[in-house]
Amino acid sequence: MQHITAPELAARLAAEGDDAPLLLDVRENWEFATCQIPGSVQIPMALVPIRISELDDDREIVCICHHGARSMQVAAFLERNGFTDVTNLTGGIHAWAVQVDGAMPKY
């Protein structure tokens, strides 16, 4: 599993456009409604096993949660299930709010 910081991810998203990785937000509905990185796809952590077929195993996936622990578990799960290009956002959406988008709500 790879890891990426919020500033590194922001730079990649700005540079890569349509070739950017899939941003998989594994937080709960209320968390996603509070704040999100634009373009993210939300599948709550508990639903990832039953919705795994919705994910493209040929595309890089960056897993996102609040602080990085749940997303790391999901990234490991995806790797165990054949996904080879999985990255965890270190520090999660909180790091994004602090280091990239200061206007983003924090919780």
Give me the catalytic one of 35, 43, 65, 74: 65
| Edge-to-edge strand ranges of the sheet holding 2-4 | 2-4, 86-89, 61-64, 22-25, 41-42
Which residue, among 42, 45, 27, has the nearest Cα to 93 in the 3D structure? 27
**How many residues are present in the chain?**
107
> What CA–CA distance (Å, rounded) separates 14 from 106?
23
Closest of 17, 26, 19, 10 to residue 85, by C-alpha: 19
35 is catalytic: no
Instruction: Give catalytic residue positions.
Output: 65
